[in-house]
Amino acid sequence: MINSKPEMRHTYWMQRAIKEARKAEAKDEVPIGCVIVQNDKILARGHNLRETTQDPAAHAELIAIRKAARKLDSWRLLDTTLYVTLEPCTMCMGAIILSRIPTVVFGCYDPKGGAAGSLYDLSDDPRLNHRVKLVPHILKAECSSLLSDFFSALRKRKRAERLIAVR
């Protein structure tokens, strides 16, 4: 049984989202992972597959939302919690709102593209028909370093490729 304290529960499920992010990283994808939980069980999981599929919508959240909807045979993902390592973008927050997910827990903010409080905040927009409870900063350091390490390694690889191309 998972600890009933919310912080412990959130940490437990965020660790599962991080495992998904590592799957993306192993495929040279931006390491973002997501799990959707219902009744203390993983309903669906997803990780970024944009490069692999060449699909701009292949974000971890959208993959998990589609799987969860198929599994429940419903587009309404009521009584679920979505855990994701990075703050959702506008596209993903739109899908979260449309699928009626009540709670989103995320690891770190995305100041360049986030739509859950950093750049935009769609979670509590009075013009929309659904509100989303946000729980930020769960395993923030681990989620943040996963991304910064990935992009640091990517920049080093690109520099090395440019040097080789010049020779």
Q: Which residues are catalytic?
A: 61
Please name which of 127, 118, 140, 152 lies closest in space to residue 30, comparing C-alpha atoms: 152
Contact between 22 and 15 under an 8 Å Cβ cutoff? The reply is no
Q: Residue for token digits 């900063």?
A: 137
Reported in sequence order, the residue ranges of 1-148 that DSSP labels E, i.e. its strands, are: 33-38, 41-47, 81-86, 103-108, 133-135
CB 158 within 8 Å of CB 100 = no
How is residue 78 written in tokens? Answer: 């009521």
